[in-house]
Amino acid sequence: MSKDRDLLRYSRQIPLLGEAGQERLSSSHVFIAGAGGLGSAVAFYMAAAGFGRITIVDCDSVEMSNLNRQILHGMKDLGRSKAISACESMRELNPVVETEPIIATIEADNIDKLLGDAELIVDALDSFDARFLLNRAANEREIPLFHGAISGFRGQATTVIPGRTACLRCIYPRHPRSTPSPALGSTCGIIGSIQVNEAVKYVGGKGRLLENRLAIWDGLASVLEEVEVDRDPDCPDCGSYRGR
């Protein structure tokens, strides 16, 4: 950090993390999969918090129907790459953060290259095919995965720590069907904020993570519940960590 400027910028969160914790945020490389509703909320608050390097991957362009929830994009961005638009918005919010847009579809044959040297993965996708690729990559690299998903007023989040927690394959042994679902901006904001909160706690070494717990938000009832989840010793993605 540039001491005086950054101490002032982060002065309201340094009491929570300490200067050493803020330095760890500033040296962290985060990979955000998706620059849509969840990805926008996650990227916005990660940039504001001072995660040092943020790579964001998305293959789509901004459309009018995105603007009810994808807060990193505006009317001027219609037709532009979501990844590029997102990075421009993050840089405007916090020019200290290094941002890297990648226009790509996450697939088995490119995920390793896309991840590069990222130390944390944030799942802001709407496809379980791609989510399972992230899940496997996180387990292979032994880096955390912060999962989030939304549908209308409802959403969920969990944190996967390889070797320590259930992974997404453990939680969803049967492939959930991916279908278009209604999306509300405030739900994206709630779940995305939980994901960022988890990442901040992980890097800062604070609090209790959503380990082996699936947090479920019901916006219609204004209730946040949790479901305990267990590791599957025969899981094809994380079973190799059985003895750790």
Q: Domain limits of the chain?
A: 3-241
Homologous superfamily of the 3-241 domain (CATH)? NAD(P)-binding Rossmann-like Domain (3.40.50.720)
Residues 102-157: tens digit of each pLDDT: 999 999 999 999 999 999 999 999 888 999 999 999 999 999 999 999 999 999 99
Q: Chain-wide mean pLDDT for the chain?
A: 94
DSSP the chain: --HHHHHHHTTTTHHHHHHHHHHHHHT-EEEEE--SHHHHHHHHHHHHHT-SEEEEE---B--GGGTTT-TT--GGGTTSBHHHHHHHHHHHH-TTSEEEEE-----TTTHHHHHTT-SEEEE--S-HHHHHHHHHHHHHHT--EEEEEEEBTEEEEEEE-TTTS--HHHH-SS--------B-HHHHHHHHHHHHHHHHHHHHT-S---BTEEEEEETTTTEEEEEE----TT-TTTGGGTT-
pTM above 0.75, yes or no: yes
Confidence of residue 7 (pLDDT cuts 50, 70, 90): confident
pLDDT > 90: what percent of the chain? 90
Task: Look at residue 237 in the predicted model and tell me its pLDDT.
Answer: 92
